[in-house]
Amino acid sequence: MSEITGQESGQPEMRSDMTGAKALWATLAAHGVSTVFGYPGGAIMPVYDALTYYPEVRHILARHEQGAIHAAEGWAKATGEIGVCIATSGPGATNLVTGLADAMMDNVPLLAITGNVARHLMGTDAFQEADITGITLPITKHNYVVTDPDMLPTIIAEAIRIARSGRPGPVLVDIPKDVQLAVFKGELAAPHAKPEPVAPRPEALEAALALLKTARKPVLMVGGGSQGASKEITEFARAWQIPTITTLMGLGAFPASDPLWLGMPGMHGSVAANHAISQSDVLVGFGLRFDDRVTGRVKDFAPNAQIIHIDLDAAEIGKIVRAHLPVKSDAALAAVAMTADAVPFDLPEWQAQLDDWKTRGEHPTTWGAAQAVRQVVARLKPDDILTTDVGQHQMLAAQLARFEKPRRWLTSGGLGTMGFGFPAGLGAAMAEPGVVSMVIAGDGGFQMTAQELATLTKYDIRNVKICIINNSYLGMVRQWQELFHEKRYSEVYLGDSNPDFIKLADAYNIRGWRADNSADLESAIDAWLAHDGSALLEVVVPNEHGVFPMVPAGAALYEMIESEPVKVPTTEAGK
């Protein structure tokens, strides 16, 4: 936490009616912030009063602070620009905690602004007081409490710079109520210049190229930190003709239609990706953390490979997986530098092995979540955005969707936040109103933020298409209980208390369709997508199916379960 106080005297005064709250909005507008998501309350009320003087900034009233911050994340993930959310003190601020942790894990540039009790009340356990800067210290890049109103624009400008620069992430600014009300006598702060990207050191680059040229089983892994370097990394992969894997957060950074693409690695990764990693001799990683869901049993991850790890954040290099050649660099600059000296690989035996692996691990064609997700994502156009919640549907969408462009796939990766998908899709839809923002959610996760249907209606957002995969269970937990807990299905059944999702949508004046068998699904999808406005599709599926391939906890990637035995459900709807 930083506490900034004081300012040099002698600066010209602003107009007499300028307050700290007005200075906040003037600074946000000067930094190009056009849309903020929030929810008012007592300790942030002066900021909301001042908003009426700044019509150039659009405020979106969510129905819960968690909905507001996930919508801001969706905006940021889709655009690459900063997302902004606002909440009051106490419970309003603490309701942002999950979104802040999510943004920190997934490197989302985010500015969270919270109100707090007046300065003289801080530390007294006043009504709706919370030490939000102390609470969020581990889950933000930086945070501030503003104790001098004249420093507020400087702090906001610095917070935006920190959130955007280097490895992006969330920054929180906490503003006591009396600071918002105080007369502002300082100067508005101009936006910071964008920092120059970090280039690779020549000696590190030379060593990496020399090692790469020795490869006979090369593999490229592309992570979420490469979304802004998609063009450069794609050119690098094609110049070298190197087989390419995109992580869950890297999907879209390399086009799925390219013959070099092997799919996603890790716990629910493709057979080709996981076996390629396990047998590679040189592995190049761009902008990824090698987290546990990607590596499986760490000591057996890429056991025969020399690893070149390229990342902007030096703290990530070698943190989990040993990097034989660490390269601290901006992903785009490193890719360009390594493309200039490319020597295309011609490795027919390796390619034949990869082609064989690509044919394995197919999903069953029987009616179930996999077939439903396959048919839904097949309708996506290249510019459309796909947002998911967390669970079986998320992994199926990651396996089955095909992304040609970056920032078209929005999901909660590191934190695995249920309730993320719908509000994030809503935020993305507002950022890009000209494309379809498709949301795939489970019946469990959707209910965590379903109240944002009101936001959809209030602002007449017309490009959100919500698909609920309803298997009446917390499906991923159920899958683990089936496989590893002797089918003791403890507290995962939702079917006896789920709402009628079509009636729920209708209550918010949103059209809905339902399909509970393969014959009706296509026509339901047609009607859902053709509807002029946002709409909801519920697909009722059996609950017996799992998501495969799957690497069990503690296993190596090459020990994955490639497919599940064929199961015969009691009925198509799994009742």
Query: Looking at the annotation, which residues are catalytic?
Result: 65, 127-128, 177, 476
Q: Provide the residue type at 511 as one letter.
A: R
d(CA 228, CA 81): 11
112 vs 93: CA distance, rounded Å = 9
| Structure tokens belonging to residue 492 | 């995962």
155 near 173, Cβ under 8 Å? yes
Nearest-angstrom CA–CA distance, 442 and 369 = 10
Phi then psi for residue 261, to 5 deg, are -75, 130
Nearest by Cα to 444 from 465, 425, 469, 467: 469
- Tell me which residue of 495, 489, 504, 480 sits closest to 554, measured CA to CA: 480
Q: Name the phi and psi angles at 288, rounded to 5.
A: -140, 160
Consecutive H or E run containing 431: helix 421-431
Tokens encoding 41: 């309350």
Name which of 138, 124, 137, 35 is nearest 78 in CA terms: 35
CB 291 within 8 A of CB 320: yes
**285: part of which helix (H) or strand (E)?**
strand 282-286
Distance (Å, whole) CA 282 – CA 269: 20
Specify the residue for token string 């493709």.
270
What does the alpha-carbon distance between residue 286 and residue 222 come to, in Å, rounded to a whole number?
Answer: 5
